[in-house]
Amino acid sequence: MTRIVIIGGGPGGYEAALVGAQLGAEVTVVDCDGLGGASVLTDCVPSKTLIATAEVMTNFDSSYEELGIVVADDTPPIEQSARIIGVDLGKVNRRVKRLALAQSHDITASVTRAGARVIRGRGRLGGPQGIDGTRDVIVTAADGTETVLTAECVLIATGGTPREIPDAMPDGERILNWTQVYDLEELPEELIVVGSGVTGAEFAGAYQALGSRVTLISSRDRVLPGEDPDAAAVLEDVFRRRGMNVIGRARAESAKRVGDRVEVTLSDGRVVTGTHCLMAVGAIPNTRGMNLEESGVKLKESGHIWTDKVSRTTAPGVYAAGDVTGIFALASVAAMQGRIAMYHFLGDAVTPLNLKTVSSNVFTDPEIATVGYTQADVDAGRIDARVVKLPLLRNARAKMQGIRDGFVKLFCRPGTGIVVGGVVVSPRASELIHPISIAVDNNLTVEQIANAFTVYPSLSGSIAEVARQLHTRKTGTDA
């Protein structure tokens, strides 16, 4: 029986374990924190659970009057604009952690039920491949004892950890990274978020909705610099309209506690103060102390593991998946990389990873979902495509629900009309992107999208409407 050792139990690791066991291999998963990894325990599942509460608050605050909902309270007439609902953050966070642990337990049960073995500890490679085609994995338990596992195949899926600035080290109380926010019992009165990427934008929007006064510090000229510029502009406008203080082109040099407050010093000398600070300045791969380069595994300058499109590293029999590869920091991509690795090593049919079919979502309000080629690709000439963007304001269902912000944008090839990308900015964009993902993955044309029935009224009707506009537009762009 083929022996496989998987180091790391996140999406890349546990999905690989399920595939390996299904295909008849003897699979051992080495994990130190609990299956699901950061995605389940400290990142995706917890943050999206927190955001779910924030979403309810936002929907209520932004639309209850327009939709005719009356809330009876004792607020004096002169203070009627005051907030009439609040949140118990301690209760929210206890629910967040409870759901994360439950999900981790469910994953562990699925993996063990499939026939894989789970060992608690930290794994590292034991050196180069032996002459018999196997290599050792050394597992160190919490008490320091070591166990040596021998395998024909090793998958490294150890993920990443929050990047830290030397002069802004988290203390878990006032200066926090995104793994520590779930220990808060009270809502931060004034929260400074350093970093305007996906993590920073999601938490800034969530805490703003929960009732914190938020300052978002971005080192770039806009929030979400890696996303569609039209989408980022919509979100930044919404943030500012809701009262968020967005400071652009400002790099944080340090953060320090001063009593019960935090002072963040910017590179231009300005000082921003608040009660709490969340550092969201990226992540670093968990590759240190794993004996990788000594075992033949090539690392990039960033510390990420180099892999090809079937998840192979430069060391025979060693694969890698997930955030540790630095390819695309998404749970769905990590899971696919892990599955591909198992299919490839065990000789099953495999399709190499194609990032142009990956759909992703930013869980802000509104959400931003994307797939395929981007506006940046079109603007840089990397692909010739026609573009049409349709605001949701024209959509009947959006009017009914009080949705004012958002749009649907599609990219298609000029000659064939094949859909090569799309952007959706709206509530539940993570659900609306799926038909566009299907179109991109299967080379469907705008004509085929336009001719498919949609429900009326529905937000998805805007996808068909954009496709109809692209079908009739022969030249040029309309962005």
> Residue 270: pLDDT band by 50, 70, 90 thresholds?
very high
Per-residue pLDDT at 478: 46
| Interatomic CA distance for residues 30 and 54, integer angstroms | 35
Please tell me what DSSP assigns to residue 478. Answer: B
In Å, how far from its chain's centre is CA 438?
20
Residue 388 has pLDDT above 80, yes or no: yes
Kindly provide the b/e burial profile for residues 110-132, where b requires at least 16 CB atoms within 10 angstroms of the residue's own CB.
ebeeeebebbebbbbbbeebeee
User: Nearest-CA neighbor of 278 among 363, 366, 187?
Assistant: 187
Token pair of 355 as six digits: 């990032």
C-alpha torsion 295→300→303→306, nearest 10: -60
Quick count: other Cβ atoms within 10 Å of Cβ 337? 28
What is the rounded distance in angstroms from the CA atom of residue 73 to the CA atom of residue 79? 11
476: confidence class by pLDDT, cuts 50, 70, 90? very low
Q: Answer yes or no: is pLDDT of 63 > 80.
A: no
Least confident stretch, 41-45, 320-324, 466-470: 41-45
- State pLDDT tens for residues 156-194: 999 999 999 999 999 999 999 999 999 999 999 999 999
Q: How far apart are CA 249 and CA 401, in angstroms?
A: 35
Which of these, 126, 117, 144, 157, lies nearest to 1 by C-alpha position? 117
DSSP H or E run through 425: strand 419-426
Strand segments (E) across 328-405: 359-362, 367-372, 386-391
- Can you point out the beta strands (E) in 2-44? 3-7, 26-31
Tell me the average pLDDT of the chain.
93
Confirm if 322 and 353 have CB atoms less than 8 A apart: no
Query: pLDDT tens-digit profile of 191-243?
Result: 999 999 999 999 999 999 999 999 999 999 999 999 999 999 999 999 999 99
The residue type at 122: R
Q: Is 62 a residue whose pLDDT tops 70?
A: no
- CA dist 113 and 468 (Å) reads 48
Residue entry with tokens 């930290």 = 122
Q: How far, in Å, CA of 253 to CA of 376, rounded?
A: 30
Percentage of the chain beyond pLDDT 70 is: 94
3 state DSSP class of 348: coil
C-alpha 477/C-alpha 389 separation (Å) is 9
Kindly give, in sequence order, each residue whose CB lies less than 8 Å from that of residue 80, ignoring residues fewer than 6 positions away: none
Q: Pick from 352, 343, 354, 334: which is nearest to 156 by CA?
A: 334
- Given a cut of 60, whether residue 404 has pLDDT beyond it is yes
Outline where DSSP puts E strands in 134-274.
135-140, 146-151, 153-156, 160-162, 175-176, 190-194, 213-217, 245-247, 252-258, 261-266, 271-274
Q: What is the pLDDT of residues 288-303, one digit of tens each?
A: 999 999 999 999 999 9
